[in-house]
Amino acid sequence: MSMSTGLDSGISLTRRTLLKGAGALAGLALYLRMSPSLGAEEVRKYGADAMPGGTVDNPLVFVNIDPAGLVTITIHRPEMGQGIRTSLAMVIADELGAKWEHVRVTQAPGDEARYGNQNTDGSRSMRHFFAPMRRVGAAARMMLEAAAAAHWGVPVAEVAAGEHEVVHSNTGRRLSYGELATAAMKQPVPERARLRLKDPSEFRYIGKSNVPLIDGPDMVSGRAQYSIDVRMDGMVYAVIARPPVLGATLAKYDDSAALKVPGVLRVVALEGKPLPPRYNALGGVAVIASNTWAAMKGREALVLEWNDGDNASYDSASYRKILEAQARKPGKVVRNDGDALAVLAKSKKRIEAEYYMPHIAHATMEPPCATARFADGKCEVWAGVQSPQEARDIIAENLGIDNSRVSVNVPLLGGGFGRRSKCDFAVEAALLAKIMEGRPVKVVWTREDDLRHDYYHTVSLQHLEAALDEQGKPIAWLHRSAAPTIVSTFVANATNQSPFEVGMGAVNVPFQIPNLRVETAEVPAHTRIGWFRSVSNIPHGVATQCFVDELAAAAGRDPKDYLLELIGPPRRIDPRALSDGWNYDEAPDVYVVDTGRLRHVIELAAREARWGRELPRGRGQGIAAMYSFLTYVAAVVEVSVENGVLTIPRIDVALDCGVLVNPDRIRAQVEGSCVMAVSLATLGEITFERGRAVQGNFHEYQISRIHEAPREIYVHLVPSRFDVPLGGVGEPAVPPIAPALLNAIYAATGKRIRQLPLRDQLAT
């Protein structure tokens, strides 16, 4: 056995140990890595290399070709609507030279040692796996070429792969991929340095929108398999009554009526674990039945008594006052250029505003659901989770068995948005499967379970102040952000936002303001706080982009011109100069903040939206721009307000993510981002009373319907360039939409909306 040497492996070990104890999730890893005990900069890894499992580019892991020529590509990243099963397959198929009609995909189980990192979160899939998957395809193509050359006894330089075949140039002889498959798989895998990647001009699928959705036919015919569709012989169905307050414990329960419901087989109490919540099962009482309906009816018949515990004090109305009080007094300084406080104190023109955003719930259309079977000391799980290896590790820990005895299969996810990064529901299925040993157990969450036991998007209060000079330009900027931190879900009593949260749109504002100070406020968490698509960029985006609009109005300037002026001339900024040591965990010298690209998307969106054109009364345009997930996005939202009723005739979004791998899916992500952002800006709110989430179903927690969604969405993609690193796509289009919408409402009505959701604030 060899000992690894060097600081690097020592630190990796430390981190791994810490992570195992703390829940092993990427965001916390990022949090911990920022702490001084781990922070030796010279050994810090970035990007995919910093993720557990890193990357794997072995074609034998990802590509199988059968003698009939059918290419089966293994997709290791879960599919949650981003189209990754299509897009990663496109990348491999393109470099491989495969005909698309001969390409199939299969979904990998959770196994990062084999496949590389699978944590599908943070808009990372294509950012981290475009290059490795190109290498996979190129290596497989070269193995086919080598096999053909060997077969003909000619130098490999004389053969070339074409479309699903290899051709010998001198003689015109051809061998199909199917004919070569067996021999090719036995060829040595070419070294990375020897790989011949295609020139982008040779791409046939990458950058084009000529490949249909690989799951499309199954999705439109009802054949697509989600977790909730798993069916197994002898399977039973479970519905769980969970503690209504975070940390509440079961005092007593009476299951006699539940057991009389036809179909109910068994009722079992599940003990919850001590806080922090992590990804643990919440505990409660599970009703196991022969079908879902019986399990639901059985749960209704339970008589339950809880000891609510400390979090029963959580009340959204009074908590808002705590946020306000904390945001109005000095907090922890996380960025400090110049002396903003002194300039503000003596300023003649001082503007102040506060923005409130409530908790929101992910509300994936498929509620959380998982099936597990425990037999012979092994557990097999079927769960649409965003991070299947983490789910596997956490399930193993919960069952007290080695993770080699747990397998996690990943059906399609009926929406993710960060909810399915947390595998609590899969842990529940595994625990119940162990109790029901030998019988598969499917745990189904109802919508009420989902909305009342989410890992909620954080509630927040953003306090901003600025001092303007004679020309109306800000000379001082103070942003104090108060929000319970995601870290509280993993570390008891964490009360301050972490670098990865303030690094999402608060500390890293790319504005040329000489005195700029950002602080965070200490506030406790009383519920599970978690990632929601775009995360802290949402409240920080609303705050900074609406505040810029307010400053522009105070200065009597056009909002777009003012925003551009604040950003300043095109330049490349080291994110560390913006106090962003986190930088989405990407290398700061590779991923610089390029204000030229940010300016460009603003100008592009404005031009395409015909910014500033004459509009009828009651109509208005608003603009906002955000750099998030390493991608530049600007949005112009056009609104109409008639008799207090808001409609959104049009949104224009310009996006620059570097390389456009699958433009149609990028457009789809942007369109979806617009709708989700409109939804959270206008309707979404979870409130707490007596520690309990109030809203239970879609009549109370509303999300936008077709008539409330933007009527037209125009997506303007900046053409691919290969001299910049890839940015994310799934999340970065969300943050600018809500502020652009609120700014448009101001333009249309003169009314500033500083509290989300909008709901009936425009009613006259």
Partner 1 sequence: MSYTITVNGASLVLDVPGDMPLLWALRDIGGLTGTKFGCGMGLCGACTVHIDGEATRACVTPVAAVVGKQVTTIEGIGSDKVGKAVQQAWLELGVPQCGYCQPGQIMSATALLRRNPKPNDRQIDEAMSGNLCRCGTYTRIRAAIKRAADTAGSPT
Residue with Cβ nearer partner 1 (84 or 167)? 84
Residue 442: which region, alpha, beta or left (left: phi > 0; alpha: psi -120 to 50)? Answer: beta
Answer for the pair 408, 392: CB distance below 8 angstroms, yes or no.
yes
For residue 83, state whether it binds partner 1 (rule: CB under 8 A). Answer: yes
Q: In angstroms, what is the minimal distance from the CB of 669 to partner 1?
A: 8
Single-letter residue type at 503: G
Footprint (CB under 8 A) of partner 1, residues 121-140: none
> Site for partner 1 (CB under 8 A): which residue of 474, 672, 691, 725?
672
CA angle (57, 384, 226) in 5-degree steps: 115
Return d(Cα 669, Cα 390) in angstroms, integer.
25
DSSP 93-149: HHHHT--GGGEEEEE--S-HHHHB-----TT-HHHHHHHHHHHHHHHHHHHHHHHHH
Nearest alpha carbon to residue 581 among 460, 498, 486, 490: 498
Q: Is 215 in the site for partner 1 (CB under 8 A)?
A: yes
67 vs 262, beta carbon nearer partner 1? 262
Nearest Cα to Cα of residue 48 among 110, 117, 131: 117
Residues forming a β-bridge with 357:
460
Give the residue, chosen from 3, 4, 231, 470, that forms a contact with partner 1 under the rule CB under 8 A.
231
To the nearest whole angstrom, how small is the minimum distance from the Cβ of residue 93 to partner 1? 18
Among residues 590, 712, 721, 722, which is the contact residue for partner 1, using CB under 8 A? Answer: 712
Among 28, 241, 246, 709, binds partner 1 (CB under 8 A): 709
Nearer to partner 1 by C-beta: 346 or 699? Answer: 699
The answer to the question of residue 346 lying near partner 1 (CB under 8 A) is no
The verdict on 217 binding partner 1 (CB under 8 A) reads: yes
Among 706, 723, 750, 760, binds partner 1 (CB under 8 A): 706
Interface with partner 1, residue 80, by CB under 8 A: yes
Asked if 579 is part of the footprint of partner 1 (rule: CB under 8 A), the reply reads no
Instruction: Compute the distance between CA of residue 34 and CA of residue 488 in angstroms, rounded to an integer.
Output: 16
d(CA 177, CA 68): 8
212: contact with partner 1 by CB under 8 A: yes
Tell me whether residue 253 or residue 293 sits nearer to partner 1 (CB atom).
293
Q: How far apart are CA 55 and CA 71, in angstroms?
A: 22
Contacts of 173 (CB under 8 A, 6+ apart): 152, 167
Stretch of 96-104, 127-135, 494-502, 675-683 lying at the interface with partner 1 (CB under 8 A)? 675-683
From the list 68-76, 221-229, 578-586, 613-621, the region that binds partner 1 by CB under 8 A is 221-229
* Residue 416 contacts partner 1 per CB under 8 A: yes
Residues 96-115, one symbol each (x = binds partner 1 by CB under 8 A, - = not), give --------------------
Kindly give the interhelix angle for 663-682 and 737-749, rounded to the nearest 10 degrees.
Answer: 50
20 token code pair? 């195992």
Q: Give the DSSP letter of residue 51.
A: S
Could you say whether residue 649 binds partner 1 (CB under 8 A)? Answer: no
In whole angstroms, give the CA distance from residue 574 to residue 270: 50
Binders of partner 1 among residues 435 to 454 (CB under 8 A) are 444, 446-447
**Alpha carbon 673 to its chain's center:** 11
Which region among 25-33, 215-223, 278-286, 455-463 touches partner 1 (by CB under 8 A)?
215-223
Name which position in 594, 671, 685, 731 contacts partner 1 (CB under 8 A).
671
**φ, ψ for residue 675, nearest 5 deg:** -65, -45
Considering the complex, what minimum distance in angstroms separates the CB of residue 447 from partner 1?
A: 5
Instruction: Report the nearest approach of partner 1 to the CB of residue 446 (Å).
Output: 6
Q: Are strands 369-375 and 174-176 parallel, antiparallel or unpaired?
A: unpaired
- Find tokens 């939804």 and name the residue: 679
Indicate the residue among 698 and 722 with the shorter CB distance to partner 1.
698
Q: Residue 704 and residue 636: Cα distance in Å, rounded?
A: 19
DSSP string, 134-178: HHHHHHHHHHHHHHHHHHHTS-GGGEEE-SSEEEETTT--EEEHH
What does the per-residue mask of binding to partner 1 show for 685-704, with x meaning CB under 8 A?
A: ------------xxx---xx
Q: Mutual orientation of helices 537-555 and 559-567 as an angle, nearest 10°?
A: 110
Distance, CA of 66 to CA of 103 (rounded, Å): 11
Amino acid identity of 34?
M
Using the minimum distance from each CB to partner 1, give the nearer residue, 56 or 713.
Answer: 713
Q: Show the site string, 276-305: x = touches partner 1 by CB under 8 A, - = not.
A: ---------------xxx--x---------
Closer CB to partner 1, 72 or 225, in the complex: 225
Among 43, 154, 189, 224, binds partner 1 (CB under 8 A): 224
One residue of 400, 707, 723, 760 binding partner 1 per CB under 8 A: 707
- Does the footprint of partner 1 cover residue 417 (CB under 8 A)? yes
Q: Where are the alpha helices (DSSP H) in 511-637?
A: 537-555, 559-567, 595-608
Interatomic CA distance for residues 481 and 518, integer angstroms: 8
Q: In whole angstroms, how close is the CB of 260 to partner 1 at the nearest point?
A: 13
* Residue 367 is a binding residue for partner 1 (CB under 8 A): yes
Q: Which of 46, 152, 226, 511 binds partner 1 (CB under 8 A)?
A: 226
CA distance 686 to 361: 7
- Rounded CA-CA distance 753/654 in Å is 24
Tell the smallest beta-carbon distance from residue 212 to partner 1 (Å): 6
Tell me if 257 contacts partner 1 by CB under 8 A.
Answer: no
For residue 664, state whether it binds partner 1 (rule: CB under 8 A): yes
Q: How near is the Cβ of 140 to partner 1 at its closest, in Å?
A: 27
26, 59, 82, 467: which one contacts partner 1 (CB under 8 A)? Answer: 82
Q: Closest approach of Cβ 425 to partner 1, in Å?
A: 14
Assess 722 for contact with partner 1 (CB under 8 A). Answer: no
Both tokens of 740, joined, read 């652009």
Asked whether position 187 contacts partner 1 by CB under 8 A, the answer is no
Closest CA to 685 of 414, 454, 441, 361: 361
Q: Give the single-character DSSP code of 471.
A: T
Instruction: Please state the closest distance from residue 651 (CB atom) to partner 1, in A.
Output: 10
**Facing residues of 304 across strands?**
253
* Between 9 and 210, CB nearer to partner 1: 210
Tell whether the torsion through CA atoms of 425, 430, 432 and 436 is positive or negative.
positive
Q: Of 228-236, 426-434, 627-635, 748-756, which part binds partner 1 (CB under 8 A)?
A: 228-236
d(CA 732, CA 460) in angstroms, rounded, equals 20
# chain residues binding partner 1, by CB under 8 A: 66
3-class secondary structure, 613: coil
Q: For residues 655 and 49, what is the distance between their CA atoms, to the nearest angstrom?
A: 26
| 209 vs 493 by CB, closer to partner 1 | 209
Residue 676 makes contact with partner 1 by CB under 8 A: yes
For partner 1, the closer CB: 178 or 663? 663
Helix and strand totals (H; E) in the chain: 21, 28
* Binder of partner 1 out of 97, 272, 415, 510 (CB under 8 A): 415
Q: How far is the CB of 95 from partner 1 (least distance, A)?
A: 23
Q: Which of residues 6-65 bind partner 1 (CB under 8 A)?
A: none
* β-strand partners of 464: 353, 479
Measuring CA to CA, which residue among 504, 454, 495, 458 is closest to residue 358?
A: 458
- In the complex, which residues of this chain contact partner 1 (CB under 8 A)? 79-83, 212-213, 215-226, 228-229, 231, 237, 262, 291-293, 296, 363-367, 412-417, 444, 446-447, 664-665, 668-669, 671-676, 679, 697-699, 703-707, 709-713
